[in-house]
Amino acid sequence: MTNLIMPHGSNELNTLYIEDELARASMLSAAAEMRTLEISSAAAANAVMLAAGYFNPLTGYMNKDDALRVSREMLTMDNLFWPVPIVNLTTDANSLDYTHGEEIALKDPNIEGNPVIAIQRVDNVEKLSDEDINIIVTNVFGTNDDNHPGVKTFKEQGRYIISGSIEVLNYSYFPSDFPDTFATAPQIREMLTKAGWSKTVAFQTRNPMHRAHEELCKMALDRLEADGVLIHMTLGKLKEGDIPGDVRDSAIRKMVEIYFPENTAIISGFGFDMMYAGPREALLHAVFRQNAGCTHLIVGRDHAGVGDYYEPFGAQDIFDQDVVKNSLKIEIFKADHTAYSKKLNEVVMMRDAKDHTKDDFVLLSGTKVREMLAAGQELPPEFARKEVAEILMAYYQKIG
């Protein structure tokens, strides 16, 4: 049997989803008598990640002390390494009436009718001050600028922080919207075991994969002598302008089907909203890929970044901090931008091509790519596989 890497912070993977159907039905029935709270999309995504074992070994939402210490030092009050606060924040001041030990039914904001997604046993309800919020966003996002999409989303969730353990009753809209792609951490471990992989490199994506991404995965496979690559995509909420999950899913599947050797790539996805938290989010990506059984994570230039908020290689450098090195078993594959070299007639890491100028590469901005696809123009074959470009073109022409 394949020996997989240990999960983060425990010997066994702890999922918070209630597997037993009768127990779930009984809890749903009990929820009808509880006080209810419609939670934010971010809190619902946290519930899904806790349910799926990705946020092992957490047992629920953090309190104010944990959130602040995690923001400052990347450690909980129990000295567990964790890179970002996992919280249930609300604008609802009535939440201050919740009593210690009370069970409340959390309602999903992302599904019509707002069904109950989880039951939370309340430990505490605390209020974050302006200073608390400033400490959290400045440390996690590197800025308190409201134009940063992650900062904006965090501040909009509210300032009442409800801590406590949760039991999760469903995975929100992810299994129905992405039936072939959404998978839990135990399911991915099962896939890796079945494939016979013990050394697996994870590739994080919120975009369709062009030639450069494809070759980067193959480079990592080759240089690490890995068994396979897990192409693991964000299925939750993205910022405006990003390509929807179903379109991205189709494009990636087509590329793997045609251009990857058999049994070298597994395509899957996880139910989380992008935070755009740069280096801190790269660490979170590493934590939950370790929980899913991966030994390596590809971390590239401006990983999980947005705009000019982060240093180009800040997401790689943060892994050199002692608290990270002493806590994570997963390792990173440090990547630079990859692009097609006209000189060498192949995709290379730009830092490896010392004798090249910018004009020696086929480089297209995201905006230029979108404009060409919307106009029905073919992308250069050095930039994108024809079959992938056709799927994207159909999408852009539809939204017109």
What SS3 class is residue 118? strand
- How big, in percent rounded to 5, are the helix, strand and coil portions of the chain? 40, 20, 45
Q: Which of 53, 280, 299, 66 is nearest to 163 (CA)?
A: 66
The whole-angstrom distance between residue 98's C-alpha and the CA centroid of its chain comes to: 31
Cβ atoms within 10 Å, residue 2: 15
What SS3 class is residue 225? coil
Six token digits for residue 219: 């480079």
Q: What are the residue numbers of the active site?
A: 206-207
Cβ atoms within 10 Å, residue 47: 31
Distance CA(250)–CA(362), nearest Å, equals 24
The H or E element containing residue 166 is: strand 160-168
In the 8-state DSSP scheme, what is residue 39?
A: P
Interhelix angle for 245-259 vs 386-399, to 10°?
160
What DSSP string describes 100-114?
TT-EEEEEPTTSTT-
Alpha-carbon distances of 195 from 255, 301, 396, rounded to whole Å: 20, 30, 36
The H or E element containing residue 131 is: helix 130-141
Alpha-carbon distances of 164 from 35, 110, 122, 217, rounded to whole Å: 15, 22, 5, 39
The type of residue at 179 is P
